[in-house]
Amino acid sequence: MATMTRSSITNILAKQGILIAFALFIIGFALANNRFLAVDNVLGVIRSSAILGVMALGVTFVVISGNLDLSVGSMMSFSTIVVLDLHDKLGPLMAIPAMFAMTMCLGAFIGFLVGYLKLNSLIVTLGMLSAIHGLTLTYSGGKNMDIADKQGTWFGFFGRSDILGIPVPILFFAILAILLSILLSRTPFGRKVYAVGGNGTAATFSGIPRARIVFLTYVISSFCVACAGLLQASRSLGSQNTVGQGLELEVLAAVILGGASLMGGSGTVFKTVIGVLILGFIQNGLLLVGLDFYVQYVVTWVIIILAVWLDIAAKRGRLLSPIA
């Protein structure tokens, strides 16, 4: 019996470890600084995590299907620059769908290479990171992009305004998270994403169109990137062409922190949201207790490795790896 209880405790810890850690963090920071849980602080943190979060939602699909997407950062720069440029040329009403179409074309191209041509996703998206960065610079001529008439446009709605006291980016993030969560956990398509990531060969033999599923995960990812670009552009109404640089790895860190395995087949949208919030609240909490801004990077490093290590340790039943 004793071993039963012990293994079930380990089991609970392994499954809900990330939630427990999150709760401990919140309690710790709340005790250290009473402003931490103030409504405006909490809303501020979620609001500033929303852009990263929206991107992480899409990458969750890609990671669950057993692939990687390192191109989301430079793709986000691309969509931000494009929508700002088209805003002045076509007006906001036309600019947004045009930007979504262009970004999703890039996603479809990656999906074609990884899904149908079965090329290694790490290298393909690494190449696309570089290629899209070049595309953005060529498109913008290397210049920063600005909206000419910042006062007279409603384009700032997505990034700057509130509805019932809640900032629009948060609502956007929440609604997208709910929709994608339903898509992933309640539809046949979602089940197939898990099947392809869990065991691709078995999925193929059971008649799942593996190539098409992988293709679609990249289209979803690029859709989320386009949403993030829209939020970013709308919040700043002007942008450098390197705005998303380096975000791809932070996004991946959030997804992994949420417990998705890089091998594919596990992870949920909800856990990714938790991962994103952990990153956001740690950053905020460390600042509030008066630590240097950059300490958060070191803390994130430790947390990522601990989270993944404990997850693996619980699965194999021992702490240290059996590698000689």
Partner 1 sequence: MLSENTARLLKQGAIWGFIVLELIFFSVAGHFLSLSEGAFMDLDNMLLLLKQSAPIGIIALGMTVIMINGNIDLSVGAIFALSAVVLLDSMTWPIFDGLGDWVIPVSWLLALLTGTVLGAVNGLIVWKTGVDAFIVTLGSMLGYRGLVFMYNGEQPTSELNWTLVDFAEAQFLGLHTATWFLLACTLALWLMMNKTVHGRNAYAIGDNCDAAVNAGIRVGPHMLKNFMLIGFLSALSAVVFYSESGSVNPNDGSLYELWAITAVVLGGTKLAGGSGSVISTFGGVIAIQLLRKGLGYIGSDTETVNLVIGLILIAVLYLDRQLNRKGKEELRI
Nearer to partner 1, 12 or 319 (CB): 319
Structure token pair of residue 147: 């909206």
**And the tokens for 119?**
């090329």
280-309 binders of partner 1 (CB under 8 A): 292-298, 300-302, 304-305, 308-309
Q: Cβ–Cβ contacts within 10 Å for residue 140, how many?
A: 19
Q: How many CB atoms lie within 10 A of CB 41?
A: 16
Alpha carbon distance 55, 58 (integer Å): 6
Q: Do 265 and 197 touch, CB atoms closer than 8 A? A: yes
Contact between 132 and partner 1 by CB under 8 A: the answer reads yes
Residue placing its CB nearer to partner 1 in the complex, 206 or 321: 321
Q: Binding string, 190-219, against partner 1, x = CB under 8 A?
A: ----------x-------------------
- Please state, in angstroms and rounded to a whole number, the distance separating the CA atoms of residues 155 and 95: 10
Minimal distance, residue 241 CB to partner 1, in Å = 9
Choose, by CB under 8 A, the member of 138, 161, 185, 206 that binds partner 1.
138
For residues 58-77, which are near partner 1 according to CB under 8 A?
66, 68
Task: Please answer whether residues 215 and 104 qualify as being in contact, where contact means their C-beta atoms are separated by less than 8 angstroms.
Answer: no
Query: What DSSP string runs through 248-297?
Result: HHHHHHHHHHTT--TTSS---HHHHHHHHHHHHHHHHHHHHTT--TTHHH
Query: In which residue are the tokens 């699965």 written?
Result: 315
Q: Which of 123, 166, 182, 202 binds partner 1 (CB under 8 A)?
A: 123
- CB atoms near residue 54 (< 10 Å): 28
Q: CB of residue 179 vs partner 1: minimum separation in angstroms?
A: 28
Q: Are 56 and 251 in contact (CB under 8 A)?
A: yes
Q: Is 127 an interacting residue with respect to partner 1 (CB under 8 A)?
A: yes
Q: Tell which one of 126, 171, 174, 183 touches partner 1 (CB under 8 A).
A: 126
Minimum Å distance from CB 320 to partner 1?
6
Contacts of 210 (CB under 8 A, 6+ apart): 115, 196, 200, 203, 204
Looking at the Cβ atoms of 28 and 134, the one nearer to partner 1 is: 134
Confirm or reject binding of residue 129 to partner 1 (CB under 8 A).
yes
Residue 142 as a binder of partner 1 (CB under 8 A): the answer is yes
Stretch that binds partner 1, among 33-41, 49-57, 127-135, 216-224 (CB under 8 A): 127-135
Per CB under 8 A, the list member of 119, 174, 183, 287 interacting with partner 1 is 119
Q: Which residues bind partner 1 (CB under 8 A)?
A: 66, 68, 113, 117-120, 122-124, 126-135, 137-138, 142, 200, 245-246, 249-250, 252-253, 256, 262-263, 292-298, 300-302, 304-305, 308-309, 312-313, 316, 320-324
